[in-house]
Structures are given as structure tokens and as C-alpha cells.
Chain A
Amino acid sequence: MSETAAVPAEKKAGVPTLELRGITMRFGGVVAINDLNLTINEGEIFALIGPNGAGKTTVFNVVTGVYQPTEGQVVFQDSRIDGKKRFQVTKRGVARTFQNVRLFHNMSAMENVLVGADAHHRTGLAGAALGLPWHRREERDGRAKARELMEFVGIGHRMEETAKNLPYGDQRRLEIARALATDPKLLLLDEPAAGMNPTEKEELQGLIKRIRDTGRTVLLIEHDMSLIMGISDRIAVLDFGQKIAEGLPAEIQNNQRVIEAYLGVPADAS
């Protein structure tokens, strides 16, 4: 992991974890994503940015199986995951958070994370009804894991609170803990810093790095440029469903098309 910081990302012999190959997503006549190719390498923090409505969340929805792409393939660790059911995609190791926090609001923080941990549990009706030993073991392990993860994201003191009573920033962390509980190899964060104050953003930045350091790959959508420039290994920019730039943070910052997409083209120039 320490190499990552030293060697420029483009020269790193990256092993692709997630590949989007020629993804097009149409809703009726609207083209939300147009022929998108994207490769995310193992162990990197990859940021997807772009103006509102550029199709970033649609990319997440395609990757996690919420939408079936109209055209193209989604390849995760050498096997196709487009067409797979959503919970199967999660079991393979892709987990996400949501742009608008979507916790199970009336369950406790602990229960929320346990639902994530249950993704790999095998207890069925009989096991649970009879209280069989492996069920008890899974419950115990699940709780230990949930506690550990809530400590990891920094909400260890609020485990038994009802999710909706947590402060907003903590709800976002809880969502990350819930996603981590499914043991993802690839974690998708949809605007994790939205609504956070500067201190919280700084902590979040540290958290995302620590997640990467545990051997996971992070793909994030974010609008906060200082956060993105601070932690991303590589960045791709979407505008109107098309990739208009991809590269290192420094390259993106000075890219003319990116600046135009964000600020608009001057009227006399067009």
C-alpha cells in the first residue's frame, strides 16, 4: 500500500478490479450513460466526478445491479456481474452507500450493521428456530464484527441507539459500517461528505484512506473538490453521461474540458 503513494498511479502495474466495458444506459429516450469505459484497479481510491445529472449515481446503480445496462458489460474480478441480482452482487464483494442516507431508520445501529454482516451468514429458518449451534456462533461472530466496524468508523459509543436518532454525520458513518460488514472488496461511496462540516470531512478523508489500507478498493462520487484532490489516486469526469476526462488529480485540475463542464463555455466562444 505504501507504494501507492510513492509511484504515480498511471505507472503502477494495476490489477483491474472493476471494468465497465462500453456501458450505455437509456431510460426511454434519455441517455443517462453513453458508451462508458472505466477501469478501476485493485487498492486504489478512484473518484467519479461531474456536474449534477452527469450520470454518476447511474453508474453506481449499474455496477450494483439496480439497473441492467442497455448495452455493455460490467466485469468484477474477471467475471461479469451485469444481469446478476442485487444481493448476489453484494455477496461477490461490491457494497455501496447511498446519496440520501438509506439506513433502516427504526432499527438500532447494531442491527443495521448486523443486516450487512448477515450477507455471508447461512442460517436458515430451521437453524434459527431450533437455535442450532452454528446459528449461535454466527450471531456471536456477527455482533463482534459489527462492534469492531462501528469502532472503526468512529461510532462505537452509539451502537444501541436507533439509527434515525444519530446525528447526520454519524448516520453516514453507520452506512459505511453497514456496507463494510458485507466484506466488500470494492466499496462504492455516493457523496459521503454531503452535509458534513469541515471537521467531519477531514475525519472522513482519514476513514476512506484507512478503508483502502485494509486492502479494499474505493470508488467514490463526491462534489467536494478538496476532499477528492486530497485522497484520490485517479479521477474520471462525467458530463451528460460521457467520460470527458480521466487521470491523476493534478491532470484533472488543469483539464480544459473539465473546467468548461463545471463553469460552462463562455457565450462568445461557442
Chain B
Amino acid sequence: MNDSTNTNPLTRMRGGYTSFSDSIHDRWATAPRWARWVVYLLLIVLAIALPADGIGSFMSPYTDWPTLLFFPIGGYILLAIGLNVVVGQAGMLDLGYVAFFAIGGYGMAVFGTKYGWSFWEILVVGVLLSALSGILLGAPTLRLRGDYLAIVTLGFGEIVRKTANNWNYIGGPNGIGGIPHPPTLTEWTIPDNGLFDAIGIGGVQPFKYGALDGKPYYYLMLVLIILAIVFVKRLEASRVGRAWASIREDEDAAELMGVPTFKFKLAAFAIGAAIGGAGGVMYASQAVSIIPTNFPFILSATILAAVVLGGSGNLPGVILGAFLVAWIPERIRGLQEYRVLVFGAVLVILMIFRPEGLLPSRRRKAELAEGEGGMGSMGAEVGGPVTVGAGEGVE
């Protein structure tokens, strides 16, 4: 094993990248509080300046950059953060995540067009509705593990889409049109002077949600993403995150150490669903009309790809992964019909170089290396008359 490390150029490249990302990881872990806040602040300023034309002309020569930043880029990032709770933290494989995105989207469409509710009200209701549907799906199915759970969630995603397709009340295959935009908060315009012009946001009305300008939607998405990050990060560092990690590592041992595993798995499902639902509400409020084919299985697969590509379980990695998965196909739009081929090739190459993801959490990386825990694994069984023998062989 060690010999090939020295001779195989691919392994050497992997190793080089790993030690680089690990050194950043370590530096971050030991960085003082103020230094972290400086980095956070810089990232926020960068995110605010991101829709500027100068950046857009390089990043997105074919499509309107701010709209692209809102969806798919921002949308995928939000969805990936939500899916990461389920897949990366609690270690359950969910192949039907798009269902919650759809429920949020249809929630916005129905309450907005049929009941005349405002976006802000629907955002709250849509999040609750999605969380509830996550609990309804999870309650009977979370006794399943690994592959079996994946199949059930896959089915759930299809059920939601088919239901939308066949239910006339919500428009059947024609979907719902005329979905209202969020009400404009204020007409306030960012002053058109030196500093703001320099970062390219002079003259923008950041709180006026119209049909033309994508920037206000992007900023709204940015706020949601930041809220989601803070929420998820806090959970991760608490009893809840520890419970998830212990479930992922050894569900039976966790239960025997007093972790109510079912409750915490359900919580992970509900939180993932709620975040997905928020994404759906946002998406529908900008898109004006939605149809069932906006919510295909391939979207679930893409978000999962984003999570795995970026580094399951590690938020910065997951965000980076979602960004790439959303951005690359748009950036190479000029290749026309070769676009998907090239995109697929890029994903394959990235996974060859970084099988554990671009920025994995150390713990997940170790788990993948030893092939235990996480997605697809059936979880070890408690030693008993039947399984003890197998266990002893391993020790």
C-alpha cells in the first residue's frame, strides 16, 4: 500500500491536495475568535458583491448572472445544506429530497394564488408544512436502514411528483401560474457612489422584488442560507450533533448509551425537509409558475452529488460542491449538446482525485476509508449468539 503511495502519480496528487486542505483545516481549528469573525465578514462582503457585472461577465457569459446566483446556485446551496443534515450528519441516505423542495414550492403557489397570502406568511407555513411531511415520511420508515431507506425515500419523491401531476386542484401537468413575488419591503436604492460602485452594487434596489432584477432574490436567498448555516452549525456543536454522529457511527451502541435514536433521526429528517421547503418557497416566488417537471428525481440526485462531491458532513465542502454542481453546467452552456457530457466527465474526474469529497470533514473521511458508517452501510449489529462470532473475527 505504501509503495503505491510513492509511485502512483494520482495517489501523490491526492496526497498533496489532502495535506494542503488538512493544513487549512488545522489552521482554522486553532484560529482565534477574532480571526474567524474577520473571515466571516470578508465572506459576507464577497457574497454581497458577487452579483456585480464584472464578476458575472466571467462567471456566466450565457445567462443573467444574478438570476443564476439565485437559482440554481443559491437554491442548490440551500438544498445541499438541508440534505447534508440527513446524509452527512445523521448518515441516512435520502434519494427523494426533491419532494420537500416540491412541497415548499407548491405551498407557495397554492397559498399565494388561491388564498392571497403574502410571501412572508407562506415562508413560515411552507417550512412547517415541509417539516411535517418529513415527519410523516420518517415516522413509519426510519426503522429502515441504509439501502432500504434510500428506496423508500426514492419512492416518496416520485409519489409527490406524480401526485402533483395528477391532482387538478394544483393544476395537474400544467402546474400553477401567476405566483406572486414577495412584497417589496422598501424602494431604497443603494447609493450610486464610489465605494458601492467599486464593488458593483451601486444603484441596486435590494428589497424590491420585481420580475427583472435577480439581485434582490439572490440577497434574500443569501439571508436564508446564512440563517440555515448558523442553525445547522449550532446543532452540530451540541448534544443533537453528537447524537447524529453517534447514530452514524454505531446506531445500536448509541441507543444503548441512552440516545433516543429514532427521535433524533426524525429530527434530522424534519430539519432537512424544512430547509428544502424553504428553498421551494423561495424558488416558486421568483419563478412565477411551477410545473411538476420542475421537481424531477434527477434534482435529488444532483443535490446528493453536490453533498458527496463537496465532502459529506462538512458545511464549507457541501457549499462548494453545490456551487460547482450548479455553476459548471451553466458556465459551459456554449458547448451546447456536449454540455452534459463534459459536466459528467468533470464530476468523474473530481471524484477520482478526491474520492472523499473536495473538503471532507476529517471524521467522515476516516469513516469512508474504513468503509463503515454513513450511507449505504447497514450498521453493525449488537453482539448476540448469532452475530458475536462474526464480531470476534473482526476484532
Q: How far is the CA of A100 from the CA of B381 in the complex (A)?
A: 11
Known: A32-B385, A131-B234. A107 touches B249 (CB 8 A): yes
Chain B positions within 8 Å of A86 at CB level: 252, 255-256
The segment from B33-41, B235-243, B284-292, B334-342 that touches chain A is: B235-243
B253 in contact with A128 (CB, 8 Å): no
Q: How far is the CA of A109 from the CA of B23 in the complex (A)?
A: 23
Interface residues on A, range: 35 or more
Which of B243, B366, B391 contacts A100, CB < 8 Å? Answer: B391
Closest to A99 in B: B383
B240 in contact with A123 (CB, 8 Å): yes
Known: A99-B391, A115-B242, A129-B234. A61 touches B384 (CB 8 A): yes
Which of A57, A142, A178 contacts B257, CB < 8 Å? Answer: A178
Which of A67, A106, A116 contacts B373, CB < 8 Å? Answer: A106
List residues 68-112 of chain A with CB under 8 A from any CB of chain B.
Answer: 85-87, 90-91, 95-96, 98-107, 111
Chain B positions within 8 Å of A27 at CB level: 385-386
Q: How far is the CA of A150 from the CA of B275 in the complex (A)?
A: 38
Smallest distance from the beta carbon of B41 to chain A beta carbons, Å?
Answer: 20
Q: How far is the CA of A139 from the CA of B250 in the complex (A)?
A: 22
A120 within 8 A of partner (CB): yes
A58 in contact with B234 (CB, 8 Å): no
Known: A90-B257, A119-B257, A178-B257. A105 touches B249 (CB 8 A): yes
B194 within 8 A of partner (CB): no
Smallest distance from the beta carbon of B298 to chain A beta carbons, Å?
Answer: 31
Known: A102-B380, A104-B249. A182 touches B257 (CB 8 A): yes
A37 within 8 A of partner (CB): no
Q: How far is the CA of A86 from the CA of B372 in the complex (A)?
A: 23
Smallest distance from the beta carbon of B246 to chain A beta carbons, Å?
Answer: 5
Chain B positions within 8 Å of A53 at CB level: 385
Contact mask for chain B residues 251-275; partner A; CB cutoff 8 A; 1 contact, 0 none? 0111111111100000100010000
Closest to B234 in A: A129
Closest to B391 in A: A100
Known: A102-B380, A105-B249. A119 touches B267 (CB 8 A): no
Smallest distance from the beta carbon of A30 to chain B beta carbons, Å?
Answer: 7
Q: How far is the CA of A115 from the CA of B241 in the complex (A)?
A: 10
Q: How far is the CA of A125 from the CA of B241 in the complex (A)?
A: 10
B258 in contact with A100 (CB, 8 Å): no
Known: A102-B250, A123-B238. A182 touches B258 (CB 8 A): yes
Q: How far is the CA of A243 from the CA of B147 in the complex (A)?
A: 41
Q: How far is the CA of A147 from the CA of B331 in the complex (A)?
A: 52
A118 in contact with B258 (CB, 8 Å): yes
A90 in contact with B256 (CB, 8 Å): yes
Smallest distance from the beta carbon of A85 to chain B beta carbons, Å?
Answer: 8
B388 within 8 A of partner (CB): yes
Q: How far is the CA of A66 from the CA of B384 in the complex (A)?
A: 9
B3 within 8 A of partner (CB): no
Chain B positions within 8 Å of A128 at CB level: 234-235, 238-241
Q: What is the size, in residues, of chain B's interface with A at 8 Å between Cβ atoms?
A: 43
Smallest distance from the beta carbon of B152 to chain A beta carbons, Å?
Answer: 22
Residue with the greatest number of chain A CB neighbours at <10 A, chosen from B245, B383, B388:
B383
B258 in contact with A119 (CB, 8 Å): yes
Q: How far is the CA of A187 from the CA of B253 in the complex (A)?
A: 15
Smallest distance from the beta carbon of A92 to chain B beta carbons, Å?
Answer: 10
Q: How far is the CA of A99 from the CA of B373 in the complex (A)?
A: 20
Known: A106-B249, A115-B242, A138-B239. A30 touches B258 (CB 8 A): no
Closest to B364 in A: A106
Chain A positions within 8 Å of B162 at CB level: none
A18 within 8 A of partner (CB): no
B395 within 8 A of partner (CB): yes
B394 in contact with A66 (CB, 8 Å): no
B395 in contact with A100 (CB, 8 Å): yes
A111 in contact with B383 (CB, 8 Å): no
Which of B241, B258, B372, B383 contacts A87, CB < 8 Å? Answer: B258
Chain B positions within 8 Å of A85 at CB level: 255, 260
B117 within 8 A of partner (CB): no
Chain A positions within 8 Å of B388 at CB level: 57, 99-100
Chain A positions within 8 Å of B53 at CB level: none
Chain A positions within 8 Å of B249 at CB level: 104-107
A64 within 8 A of partner (CB): yes
A179 within 8 A of partner (CB): yes
Smallest distance from the beta carbon of B347 to chain A beta carbons, Å?
Answer: 26
Q: How far is the CA of A98 from the CA of B249 in the complex (A)?
A: 15
Chain B positions within 8 Å of A30 at CB level: 385
Smallest distance from the beta carbon of B388 to chain A beta carbons, Å?
Answer: 6
Chain B positions within 8 Å of A131 at CB level: 234
B367 within 8 A of partner (CB): yes
List residues 209-229 of chain A with CB under 8 A from any CB of chain B.
Answer: none
B382 within 8 A of partner (CB): yes
Smallest distance from the beta carbon of B193 to chain A beta carbons, Å?
Answer: 39
Closest to A111 in B: B242
Known: A64-B256, A118-B242, A131-B234. A106 touches B271 (CB 8 A): no
Contact mask for chain B residues 338-375; partner A; CB cutoff 8 A; 1 contact, 0 none? 00000000000000000000000001101100101100
A129 in contact with B383 (CB, 8 Å): no
Q: How far is the CA of A119 from the CA of B231 in the complex (A)?
A: 23
Which of A66, A116, A178 contacts B382, CB < 8 Å? Answer: A66
Closest to B261 in A: A87
A115 in contact with B383 (CB, 8 Å): no
B239 in contact with A107 (CB, 8 Å): no
Extra inter-chain contacts (19) besides given A27-B385, A99-B388, CB under 8 Å: A27-B386, A57-B384, A58-B385, A98-B253, A100-B394, A101-B395, A102-B252, A103-B250, A104-B245, A104-B246, A104-B249, A104-B250, A106-B363, A114-B239, A115-B243, A118-B259, A123-B239, A123-B240, A190-B383
8 residue pairs bridging A and B, Cβ less than 8 Å apart: A67-B384, A87-B255, A95-B258, A114-B242, A118-B243, A118-B259, A125-B235, A182-B257
Chain B positions within 8 Å of A, measured between CB atoms, are 231, 234-235, 238-243, 245-246, 249-250, 252-261, 267, 271, 363-364, 366-367, 370, 372-373, 380, 382-386, 388, 391-392, 394-395
